[in-house]
Chain A
Amino acid sequence: MTTKQRICVTVNGVRHEREVEPRLTLADFLRHELALGGTHVGCEHGICGVCTVMIDGRSARSCIALAVQADGCQVTTVEGLRDRATGHLHPIQQAFVEAHGLQCGFCTPGFMMTTLELLTENAEPSDEAIKEALGGNLCRCTGYEAIIASVRLAAQRLREQKNA
């Protein structure tokens, strides 16, 4: 019998307090405790990148982070990208739509969260930098070219938005 732990995690700006089993992964915490199904679960051992979220502003694989480790942390998931006030998609989401950065969409949340970190650090990444950043995310349908084009477009939109 294991002792449950009380944790408090801020997800997309909202504080959540829960009692969780220590073995609960952050991915399962988001999906099952908070009903945030946008964070997908693929390999569940840190290979495919589909569960990527931001923890305290850094991209992380939520399937190999425990919910208890995120106690006191700020987590951003794909649900946190959209503009709450206007309902508009985030420029990264819009770019993935326009540049055909997804087909089945399963891997997309992970790609977009990794892209969010990349474009926060580097407003104008080279294709090499994009490939390096996305190296930890797998896609089984698009063949990656359209994803790279989406990130390029997202970077351009974000720069335009900043300069506007």
Chain B
Amino acid sequence: MKPANFDYHAPQTLAEAVELMVRLEEEGVDAKILAGGQSLMPMLAMRVARPEVLVDLGRIKSLDYVRQEGGVIAVGAMTSKRAAEESVLIEQQQPLFHAATKLVGHRQIRNRGSVGGSFAHADPASEYPAVALVLDMAFKAVGPEGERTIPATDFFVTYMTTSLESTEVLTEVRLPIMPAGTGWAIQEFARRNGDLALAGVAMTLKVADGVCADARLAAFGVNATAVRLTAAEDFLAGKRPERAMLEQAAALAAGSLDEPMSCVHASADYRRHLIRVLAERCLAEAVGRAA
């Protein structure tokens, strides 16, 4: 349970980090970016990952911020989850992201784990990618060609794989401010408090003139990436938020999933069952919050 040998660099600036990643790529060196390390370190310890070089972003102070830019909350990629949890701006203006942050790991993990790291790691059981799809978040990355903004729909490719280039550094996570009156919820099931979820659902919706509108639901922990539950979303449009309707929407959400993953902790059927139950609970909670 000790990591294999690697070389270590801790650039002081983003430009240095990108330059370094480019040089290492040119030299054919297998380099990996170290953010908070709360997912990467266990992978190194178990030698699932054996990079030759780690490039630590921890010294780049310019990547640690939470600020409002018009209708968006911009969060620096190296902002700790703890800082996101303690941000009044996030708590008040983007409560779904705030609630999702509190569900990540335990306090020791949130103290060191970065906001950007979780997105770049793209664990399908993580809360964040599902929230990114629901909220239509965007990601800023800087590479040798400069900066680009990647919408959430283009960001997550498959299991632990994003559309970031190997020489690109994720620099910012952009959360749209939640419009007033939006109902939201996030529910997950884990064997132990703080463990990665076996399955979970995140969502937002509005209730206007007594009917549901703009429902956006995503499931995590079931497929290779978080997935939108479009069958339920389409069904809910224009429906009264009554119990029978919400139950039907949840059943549709679970029924329309691609075959879920299966592991020693939860079979595919069990995960599908969890999505139905969690979607139902989320819907009731979100409707209750919608003004």
Query: Which of these, A43, A47, A58, A136, contacts B82 with CB under 8 Å?
Result: A58
Q: Are A45 and B108 in contact (CB under 8 A)?
A: no
Answer yes or no: A11 CB below 8 A from chain B CBs.
no
Interface residue count on the B side (C-beta < 8 Å): 31
Given A64-B41, A64-B45, A65-B112, check contact A136 B105 (CB 8 Å): yes
B2 at the interface (CB under 8 A from A): yes
In the complex where A5-B8, A46-B41, A69-B37 touch, is A135 in contact with B194 (Cβ < 8 A)?
Answer: yes
Contacts of A23 in B (CB 8 A): 2-6, 44
Which residues of B180-230 are within 8 A (CB) of A? 192-194
Are A136 and B107 interface neighbours, CB within 8 A?
yes
A131 to B5, CA, bound (A): 37
Check A114/B41 contact, CB under 8 A, given A2-B6, A68-B56.
no
Q: Is B38 an interface residue (CB 8 A)?
A: yes
Q: Is the Cβ of A2 less than 8 Å from the Cβ of B5?
A: yes
Interface centre among A5, A21, A49, A136 (most CB of B within 10 A): A136
Contact call A45/B41, Cβ cutoff below 8 A: yes
A68 with B41: CB separation less than 8 A: no
Taken together as a complex, chains A and B put the C-alpha atoms of A52 and B107 apart, in Å, by 11
Contacts of A160 in B (CB 8 A): none
**CB of B1 within 8 Å of the partner chain:** yes
Q: Contacts A22-B6, A60-B108, A61-B108: A69 and B56 contacting too (C-beta < 8 A)?
A: yes
Taken together as a complex, chains A and B put the C-alpha atoms of A112 and B195 apart, in Å, by 21
Nearest CB in chain A: distance from B61 CB, A = 12
Q: Are B109 and A136 in contact (CB under 8 A)?
A: yes
**Contact partners of A68 in chain B: CB under 8 A:** 8, 10, 56
How distant is B64 from chain A, measured CB to nearest CB, in Å?
13
CA distance A52 to B45 in the complex (A): 17
Residues of B within 8 A of A61 (CB): 38, 108-109, 112
Q: Is the interface of A mostly helix, strand, loop or mixed?
A: mixed
A133 within 8 A of B: yes
Instruction: Give the complex CA separation of A22 and B44 in angstroms.
Output: 12
How many residues on the A side are at the interface (Cβ–Cβ under 8 A)?
Answer: 34
- List of B residues within 8 angstroms of A28 by Cβ: 2
Contacts of B27 in A (CB 8 A): none
Task: Find residues 1-45 in chain B having any chain A CB closer than 8 Å to their own CB.
Answer: 1-8, 10, 34, 37-38, 41-42, 44-45
Identify which of A28, A58, A117 gathers the most chain B CB atoms within 10 Å of its CB.
A58
How far is the CB of B32 from the nearest CB of chain A, in Å?
Answer: 12
Contacts of B157 in A (CB 8 A): none
Instruction: Give CA–CA (A66, B10) in the complex, Å.
Output: 12
Query: Is A108 engaged at the interface, CB distance under 8 Å to the other chain?
Result: no
Query: Which A22-43 residues have a C-beta within 8 angstroms of B?
Result: 22-23, 25, 28, 43
Q: How far is the CA of A43 from the CA of B41 in the complex (A)?
A: 12
Across the interface, do A2 and B58 meet the contact criterion of CB distance under 8 Å? no
Q: Is A126 an interface residue (CB 8 A)?
A: no
Residue among A25, A44, A49, A58 making CB contact with B106, cutoff 8 Å: A49
Flag if B107 contacts A133 (CB, 8 Å): yes
Which B residues from 136 to 191 make CB contacts under 8 A with A?
none
Bound complex: CA of A135 vs CA of B6, how far in Å? 32
Q: Is A155 interfacial (CB 8 A cutoff)?
A: no
CB distance from A145 to the nearest CB of B (A): 16
Q: Does B54 have its Cβ within 8 Å of any Cβ on chain A?
A: yes
Contact B54 A114 (CB under 8 A): no
In addition to A60-B111, A60-B112, 20 A-B residue pairs with Cβ atoms within 8 Å of each other are A22-B7, A22-B8, A23-B3, A23-B5, A44-B1, A45-B1, A46-B109, A59-B111, A61-B109, A61-B112, A63-B41, A64-B45, A64-B112, A66-B41, A69-B37, A69-B56, A131-B193, A135-B106, A135-B194, A136-B109
Residue numbers of A with Cβ under 8 A of B are 2-3, 5, 21-23, 25, 28, 43-47, 49, 52, 55, 58-61, 63-66, 68-69, 71, 114, 117, 131-133, 135-136
Q: What are 15 A-B pairs with beta-carbon distances under 8 A?
A: A2-B6, A2-B7, A22-B7, A25-B2, A43-B1, A44-B2, A44-B45, A45-B1, A46-B41, A60-B111, A63-B45, A64-B45, A65-B37, A69-B34, A136-B107
